[in-house]
């Protein structure tokens, strides 16, 4: 059914109500509505934004930020261990959610990281499951899968049967030289980046339609081809406040939701015969649960919401990735176009034209990824020193009994991953064809290539909680960045290494000088301070409604059902209990595909 108005929905019953029409929400809604007998309502707070040029034209990374029509513009609390810096946490507020504003990298996690979810008490949530469901999501373009002797996809494996087209965008000379310099610095090629072992350097693909380089997101891949299904009802500009419940034998039974149009804010209701599925993302899903009376007694008391179900894990166990970028200005004679040019109006228009010929900046992408152990960057001795210090700290805290239920098990797995002898990928490097570096800003008209360091497996744990019963006010986000020194020091060591890489041929040939941090940042202490001032989020928040056993502070069980409820599931990135060395959209789609299967099989259709 085409998009409809609020009066077509208010006070009406549906089989399923899906809260949030983002990456996971649209995927699940499309799958459930394959059965024409089943009615599905999606309530999305953002607008439809079909064919919005800031979404459909690829590679406009960050151009949507701060635009309230597309971005929630979240902001964290000042970070106590990070010089009180507040971080912007941009998220898609539109049909398609964050898949519509993301940076389009298509990345698969390492096998060990997904298998860890099963080890934490979630049978069936393992690497085999990831492979099975992801191949239902992606559809790899076979025409460009070999570049300069770098094999992108294992031809013996499935190319996928899904609707999310992924392909290799164009690359610039600095991308090629960066990769060659990595090899010069001893980084091996990743053995199986899309099939369980991304440890090393590789060329990655992205959510680009190979026919015209446009963005592929959940709206274009899942919803658009099925928009006219009469049983699929999508209401946009509709913010869900809370769930409505009855109770049966001590369990909560959701009968519907309370929501309002974002223009008039008058509370309305819609009813669910079967289930309510929460897909509002890792930042808003815990808030919706709390405003429904599900969460920590203390938090609900503070906001004046009566407690219906005590679940201490709601809004806890929050984990995030951080990135810091060393930005180098390109030499005048270097021929590369970089994203920096798009900040100039004339260039922006010119590249819009070039796109029609399959050329220009809207056809290039972020294609250089490397996953490697900390020891690659710090040397083995320093990696061992940092690992031992972290291990000691954790052992001491275990003895003092300070950890909440379930945390020790997570830290045991993280220590195992971090053990330098095992060589797992702790850090990711990204070659970014433009400026993505802070706090110093770029000089207009100049072109840059940024060498980025990303932390994959953080020990720090944060929180996301509602601080008001007003559904229109954002929850408080506190990721506890840099609470563990291992995170700060891993970044410091990697930044020092990246500076050496910039002096290595052949990338050195293209780089004029380092613009940020710049020559005044030299000692380890100065690098540390710069890292704390200059790091940003990678937009990968997880854990706020973790899938864990109930006695380990779980919020949902392995069937994604909220403990203590009969028919409420959470099926978005918030359920991931332990972070992965990967960008997260592939995981979000996998969670959604599996959730759809779980829901269909529990309803026996």
Q: Which residues bind ligand FAD (CB under 6 A)?
A: 19-25, 43-46, 90-93, 97-99, 101-105, 107, 239-240, 279-281, 284, 288, 539-540, 572-573, 583-586, 588
Measured distance CA(341)–CA(347) in Å, rounded: 6
Q: Which of 52, 241, 457, 583 is catalytic?
A: 583
Asked if residue 240 belongs to a known ligand binding site, the reply is: yes
Complex with ligand FAD: residue 195 or 496, whichever CB lies closer: 195
H or E, element range at 378? helix 374-378
Task: Check: CB of residue 65 under 8 Å from CB of residue 75.
Answer: no
Complex with ligand FAD: residue 31 or 93, whichever CB lies closer: 93
Asked if residue 220 belongs to a known ligand binding site, the reply is: no
H or E, element range at 455? strand 448-455
Shortest-Cβ-distance residue relative to ligand FAD: 22
Q: Which of 108, 321, 515, 540 is catalytic?
A: 540
User: Min. distance of Cβ 166 from ligand FAD in angstroms?
Assistant: 11
Backbone angles phi, psi at 40, to 5 degrees: -130, 130
User: Min. distance of Cβ 506 from ligand FAD in angstroms?
Assistant: 26
User: Min. distance of Cβ 363 from ligand FAD in angstroms?
Assistant: 16
Complex with ligand FAD: residue 38 or 216, whichever CB lies closer: 216
CA 479, 290, 42, 593 torsion: positive or negative? positive
User: Min. distance of Cβ 544 from ligand FAD in angstroms?
Assistant: 10
The two three-digit tokens of residue 533, written as one number? 């001032």
Complex with ligand FAD: residue 43 or 327, whichever CB lies closer: 43
DSSP-derived 3-state class of residue 228: coil
Q: Cα angle vertex 178, ends 172, 181, to 5°?
A: 145
Residue 583 annotated among the catalytic residues of the structure: yes
H or E, element range at 23? helix 23-32
User: Min. distance of Cβ 404 from ligand FAD in angstroms?
Assistant: 24
Complex with ligand FAD: residue 265 or 500, whichever CB lies closer: 265
Q: Where are the alpha helices (DSSP H) in 401-518?
A: 407-418, 485-502
User: Min. distance of Cβ 283 from ligand FAD in angstroms?
Assistant: 8
The two three-digit tokens of residue 201, written as one number? 């350097």
Residue among 21, 484, 19, 553 nearest 241 (CA): 19
CA distances 116 to 211, 391, 410, Å, are: 38, 19, 9
Residue 480 annotated among the catalytic residues of the structure: no
CA 14, 17, 21, 23 torsion: positive or negative? negative
Asked if residue 24 belongs to a known ligand binding site, the reply is: yes
Q: Label the pairing between strands 88-89 and 74-75.
A: antiparallel
Complex with ligand FAD: residue 134 or 567, whichever CB lies closer: 134
CA 167, 170, 174, 177 torsion: positive or negative? positive
H or E, element range at 135? helix 127-137
Q: Cα angle vertex 229, ends 223, 235, to 5°?
A: 60
Complex with ligand FAD: residue 258 or 602, whichever CB lies closer: 258
Q: Kindly write down the DSSP assignment for every residue of 532-576, as one continuous string.
A: HHH-EE-S--B-TT-BS-GGGT-SB-TT-BBTTBSSEEE-SGGG-
Task: Check: CB of residue 202 under 8 Å from CB of residue 182.
Answer: no
Residues that are catalytic: 540, 583
Known binding positions for FAD: 23-24, 240
Known binding positions: 23-24, 240
């Amino acid at each position: 059914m085409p998009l409809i108005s609020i009066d077509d929905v208010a006070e009406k019953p549906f089989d399923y109500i899906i809260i949030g029409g983002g990456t996971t929400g649209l995927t699940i809604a499309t799958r459930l509505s394959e059965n024409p007998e089943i009615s599905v309502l999606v309530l999305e707070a953002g607008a439809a934004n079909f064919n919005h040029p800031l979404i459909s034209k690829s590679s406009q990374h960050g151009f949507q930020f701060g635009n309230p029509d597309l971005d929630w513009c979240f902001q964290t609390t000042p970070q106590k261990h990070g010089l009180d810096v507040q971080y912007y946490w941009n998220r898609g507020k539109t049909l398609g959610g964050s898949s519509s504003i993301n940076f389009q990298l298509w990345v698969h996690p390492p096998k060990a990281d997904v298998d860890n979810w099963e080890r934490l008490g979630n049978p069936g949530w393992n690497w085999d499951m990831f492979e099975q469901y992801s191949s239902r999501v992606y559809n790899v373009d076979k025409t460009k899968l070999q570049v300069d002797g770098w094999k992108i996809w294992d031809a013996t494996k499935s190319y996928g049967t899904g609707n999310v087209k992924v392909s290799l965008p164009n690359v610039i000379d600095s991308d090629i030289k960066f990769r060659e310099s990595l090899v010069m610095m001893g980084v091996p090629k990743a053995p199986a980046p899309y099939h369980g072992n991304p440890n090393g350097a590789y060329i990655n693909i992205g959510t680009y339609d190979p026919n015209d380089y446009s963005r592929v997101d959940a709206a274009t891949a899942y919803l658009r081809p099925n928009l006219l299904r009469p049983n699929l009802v999508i209401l946009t500009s509709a913010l869900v406040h809370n769930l409505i419940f009855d109770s049966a034998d001590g369990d909560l039974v959701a009968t519907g939701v309370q929501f309002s149009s974002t223009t008039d804010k008058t509370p309305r209701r819609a009813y669910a015969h079967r289930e309510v599925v929460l897909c509002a993302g890792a930042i808003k899903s815990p808030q919706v649960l709390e405003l429904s009376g599900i969460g920590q007694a203390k938090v609900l008391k503070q906001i004046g919401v009566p407690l219906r179900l005590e679940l201490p894990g709601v809004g806890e166990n929050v984990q995030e990735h951080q990135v810091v970028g060393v930005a180098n200005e390109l030499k005048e004679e270097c021929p590369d176009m970089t994203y920096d040019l798009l900040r100039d109006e004339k260039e922006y228009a010119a590249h819009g034209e070039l796109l029609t010929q399959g050329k220009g900046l809207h056809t290039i992408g972020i294609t250089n990824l490397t996953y490697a152990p900390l020891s690659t960057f710090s040397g083995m001795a320093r990696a061992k020193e940092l690992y031992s210090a972290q291990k000691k700290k954790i052992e001491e805290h275990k003895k003092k009994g300070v950890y909440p239920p379930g945390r020790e098990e997570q830290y045991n797995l993280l220590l195992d991953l971090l053990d330098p002898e095992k060589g797992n990928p702790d850090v990711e490097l990204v070659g970014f064809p433009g400026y993505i570096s802070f706090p110093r800003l770029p000089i207009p008209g100049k072109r840059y290539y940024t060498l980025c360091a990303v932390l994959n497996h953080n020990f720090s744990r944060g929180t996301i909680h509602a601080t008001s019963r007003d559904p229109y006010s954002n929850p408080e986000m506190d990721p506890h960045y840099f609470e563990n020194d291992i995170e700060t020091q891993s970044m410091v060591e990697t930044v020092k290494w990246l500076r050496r890489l910039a002096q290595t041929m052949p990338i050195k040939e293209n780089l004029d000088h380092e613009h940020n941090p710049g020559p005044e940042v030299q000692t380890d202490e100065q690098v540390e301070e710069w890292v704390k001032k200059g790091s940003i989020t990678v937009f990968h928040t997880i854990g706020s409604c973790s899938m864990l056993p109930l006695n380990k502070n779980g919020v949902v069980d392995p069937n994604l059902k909220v403990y203590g409820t009969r028919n409420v599931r959470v099926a978005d990135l918030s359920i991931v209990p332990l972070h992965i060395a990967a960008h997260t959209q592939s995981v979000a789609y996998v969670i959604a595909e599996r959730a759809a299967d779980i829901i269909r099989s529990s309803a026996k259709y």
